[in-house]
Chain A
Amino acid sequence: MISYILRRTFAAVILLLVVTAVTFAIFFLLPRMAGQTADQLAQQYIGKSPTKADIAAVKQNLGLDEPLYAQYWHFIKGIVAGATYDLGPTTAHCDAPCFGYSFKNHVAVWPQLTSRLPVTISLAAGAAVMWLVSGVVIGVISALKPRSFFDRAFMGVALAGVSLPMFFTGNLALLLFTYQWPIFGRTYVPFTENPAQWANTLFPAWCSLALLYSAIYARLTRSGMLETMNEDFIRTARAKGLRERRVVARHGLRAALTPIITVFGMDLGLLLGGAVITETVFSLPGIGQYAVQGITDNDLPPILGVTLLAAFFVVIANLLVDLLYAAADPRVRLS
C-alpha cells in the first residue's frame, strides 16, 4: 500500500509539472497566435501615447521579451521561492507560492486566489453533498426496480436535468427566488460571518448545480447498480441465504459505489477549479469569476493562476481518488 501511495504521488507531481508547462506554453503562445508582439503586450499596461522608453521599461519589468523557457523557469521559481518585480521606486514582492502578479491591478495572484477559494469551496461542497445524496439514493432505488414507474419517472427527470444548461436553470432560479419571490440573498456572505446568510445566499446556486449533477449521478449509480446486481458474487451472496436487504447493502452497493468515487472526485476537482458559469450567473466572487474578470481585463496572470490552480485540484483529486479506490478495492493495490 505504502509503495502504491508513493508511486501515485510521484506520478501526480510529474503530471502537475507537465500540466503547468503546457498551460504556461499555451498562455505564452496565445497572444502571439493572435498576432501580438511583446511591445503590444507591454503597451496594454501603459496609458495612452506611450513613449518607446516607457514600453521598453514595462517590457523589461514584466520580462515580456524573454524566451518561453526563461519565463517558465521564472514562473516555477516564483511558485517555489516567490518572486520580485521591479516597479520603479518599489519592487513588488510576490511571496511563494507566487502564482504570478497581475500588473493590471498590481496585486499578486495567489492572495487573490486564496481569498476567493472559500467561496468556490462553499459552492462546490454544498452542491456536492446535495447531488451525491440525492443522486445515489435515486439511482439505487431505480436500479432495484428497473423499468418500474418510479424508475422511468426519475430517469426521465434525470435526463431532463442533464439536458438543462446551467446558465438557463441558474437564471430561472434567480428570476424566481431572488426577484419574483425574494426568498434568498443576492450577495455572498462568508460562512464565518453568518452561516445562515451564507447558506441562504448559496442555496439557489447549490440547487441549480445539484440538479445537473444529481441527474448525472442518479444515472451513473443506476447503471452501476444494475450491473453489479447481475454479478456472480451477488448470486453467491443470495445462495448463502442472506436477506435481500443485506445482499443489496453489503454486497451490491459496496461494489457499485466504488467506481462512483472516481467520478465524484474528478467532478469535485473540476468544480473547485472554477465553477465559472455558476459563479458568473450567481455573481459569486469565486476563483472562476476571477478568471472571467481576468479575461474581460485581458489580464493573463489571473487566468493563468486560476487555470493552474484548477489543474492542481484536478490532479490532487485524481490522486485522492486513486488512493480511496485502492482502499476500497483490494485488487487495485497489487497493480
Chain B
Amino acid sequence: MTELSKTGAALGEPAPGNAPDAFLAVRDLKVHFPTDDGLVKSVDGLSFQVEKGKTLCIVGESGSGKSVTSLAIMGLHRLGAQGKHVQMSGEIWLDGKELVSADPDEVRRLRGREMAMIFQDPLSAMHPYYTIGNQIVEAYRVHNDVSKKVARKRAIEMLDRVGIPEPNKRVDGYPHEFSGGMRQRAMIAMALVNNPELLIADEPTTALDVTVQAQILDLIRDLQKEFGSAVVLITHDLGVVAEIADDVLVMYGGRCVERGSVDDVFERPQHPYTWGLLGSMPRIDRETSERLIPVKGQPPSLINVPSGCAFHPRCPYADIPKGDVTRTVRPELQQVGGGHFSACHLSPEDRTRIWTEEIAPKL
C-alpha cells in the first residue's frame, strides 16, 4: 500500500527536465504519425513509472496505443523507412537517462542490454532463415565482445533456463521447427540473454493456448524475481493482468483513462471504460448470457479524436454530468485515492453509486 501511494505521490508532482527517482518514468509522452489521411495521434500525453522488480500492465483495446508506447520506449519508432516522419515528444527516463532526446546510437546500445522486448507473435518476430541459437548469439554478441563459442554456450544456457528441453540440440533448430510455446520461450531467452533491467512484453501470450500461457507467465514472473528487472506487460487480457500485475494502466484513444494498483482497478474501478472491460471479462461461474456488458460502438479514430472525453460517444453515462462538459472538456487524470487515478467527468459520488449499484452486482 505504501508502495502505491509513494508512486502515486511521485506522479502527483510532475517535474519535467530532471531525472525522477523511479527506474522507468514516462512523462507526457506523445507519439504522432503523419499519414496521407491525417495525423495519427497514437499516444497523446501519457505518463507513468515503474520500479525495478515491479510489473506494470498496460491494458486497452487494439489501437489504444499500448504497443506504440512500448516501441517508443525501445526507441524503435525512429528507425527504418518511416522513422523520419514520426513525431515524438515528452520524456522517457530509464535509470536516470532520458531517451527521447538521446542520440539514437546511445539508445541502440541500451536496446537489448538494459531494455529488452518480447514480441507478440514469435514466429514472425524471429528471422525464418537463421537458427534460434544463431539469433540469440547475435543478440548476445552485439553487447558483449565474446567469441562465437562463448556466446553459443550462453545461448544454450539461456534456452535451458527458459525450460527448453535438450537445449544443445534445439539451439540449432529453426523457428518454424519449434512449437508456439517453445518459440515464445526462445524469444524470452533471446530477450533476457543480456539480463536487461527493463523487460517489455507486448502481448506475450496472445498467440498461445491457455496452459502454455500460464507457463509463460510463470516463467516471466520467475525470471523477473531472478533478475529483479522491471516489467512492462502489454495486454488486453484482464486475466493476465490479474495474474501478474502490480500496477495497471488503462489506455483509451492514446491516453490514460485510469491507473492504479491491481486491487484499486479491479475492486473499485473509477472509469466507465474500465467497467466495460471488467464487464466483458468472462467468468466461468456465470451464465454467458447475463455476464457480458459489452461496450457498444467502435474504437475512436486516432486522427480526429472525439472532442471532450474521447470515450463519450460510447459512454452510457455521458449525459449525467451537467451541460455538455463531456463533449467539450477533456477530463484530466485526477487522484481518486492513494495512487489511484482516473480521467472522468462523473462526480466521485456518481461513480461509486453506478459501480456499486449497477456494475458490480452483474460481475
A residues adjacent to B (C-beta < 8 A): 143-146, 226, 229-244, 251, 254-255, 258, 328-331, 334
Among B112, B119, B128, B129, which residue has its beta carbon within 8 angstroms of that of A241?
B112
Q: How far is the CB of A74 from chain B (nearest CB, A)?
A: 48
20 of the cross-chain contacts (CB-CB < 8 Å) are A143-B81, A226-B81, A231-B124, A233-B127, A233-B128, A235-B119, A236-B125, A236-B126, A238-B76, A238-B79, A239-B76, A240-B111, A240-B138, A241-B112, A255-B129, A258-B129, A329-B129, A330-B129, A331-B128, A331-B174
Q: A234-B80, A237-B127, A238-B79 are in contact. List 10 more A-B contacts (CB 8 A).
A: A143-B81, A145-B81, A230-B81, A238-B76, A239-B111, A241-B142, A251-B127, A254-B127, A330-B174, A331-B176
B74 engages A239 (CB within 8 Å): yes
Which residues of chain B have C-beta atoms less than 8 A from A233's C-beta?
124-128
Interface residues on B, range: 20 to 34
Query: Does any Cβ of A come within 8 Å of B109's Cβ?
Result: yes
Q: How far is the CB of B275 from chain A (nearest CB, A)?
A: 34
Query: What per-residue 1/0 map shows which CB atoms of B181-194 lie under 8 Å from chain A?
Result: 00000000010000
Q: How far is the CB of B132 from chain A (nearest CB, A)?
A: 11
B residues adjacent to A (C-beta < 8 A): 71, 74, 76, 79-81, 108-113, 116-117, 119, 121, 124-129, 138-139, 142-143, 174, 176, 190
A334 to B121, CA, bound (A): 21
A234 to B125, CA, bound (A): 8
Among B81, B116, B127, B176, which residue has its beta carbon within 8 angstroms of that of A239?
B116
A233 to B176, CA, bound (A): 13
Q: How far is the CB of B197 from chain A (nearest CB, A)?
A: 14
B138 engages A144 (CB within 8 Å): no
Q: How far is the CB of A315 from chain B (nearest CB, A)?
A: 27
Q: Quick one: closest A residue to B126, CB to CB?
A: A233
Q: Quick one: closest B residue to A244, CB to CB?
A: B79
Q: Quick one: closest A residue to B127, CB to CB?
A: A233
> In this complex, which of A232, A234, A244 has the most chain B Cβ atoms within 10 angstroms of its Cβ?
A232
A232 engages B125 (CB within 8 Å): yes
A293 to B76, CA, bound (A): 61
A258 to B130, CA, bound (A): 13
Which residues of chain B have C-beta atoms less than 8 A from A330's C-beta?
128-129, 174, 176
Given contacts A232-B119, A232-B121, A243-B108, contact A255 B128 (CB under 8 A): yes
A258 to B176, CA, bound (A): 17
B128 engages A240 (CB within 8 Å): no
Q: How far is the CB of A268 from chain B (nearest CB, A)?
A: 23
Q: Quick one: closest A residue to B121, CB to CB?
A: A232
A251 to B71, CA, bound (A): 19
> In this complex, which of A233, A239, A242, A243 has the most chain B Cβ atoms within 10 angstroms of its Cβ?
A239
Which residues of chain B have C-beta atoms less than 8 A from A236's C-beta?
119, 125-127, 190
Given contacts A229-B81, A233-B124, contact A242 B138 (CB under 8 A): yes
Q: Quick one: closest A residue to B108, CB to CB?
A: A241
A241 engages B81 (CB within 8 Å): no
A244 to B128, CA, bound (A): 19
A167 to B126, CA, bound (A): 47
Query: 7 nearest interchain CB pairs?
Result: A241-B112, A241-B111, A232-B124, A240-B139, A232-B125, A240-B112, A233-B127
Which residues of chain A have C-beta atoms less than 8 A from B111's C-beta?
238-241
Which residues of chain B have C-beta atoms less than 8 A from A242's C-beta?
108, 112, 138, 142
A328 engages B129 (CB within 8 Å): yes
Q: How far is the CB of A248 from chain B (nearest CB, A)?
A: 9
A335 to B125, CA, bound (A): 21
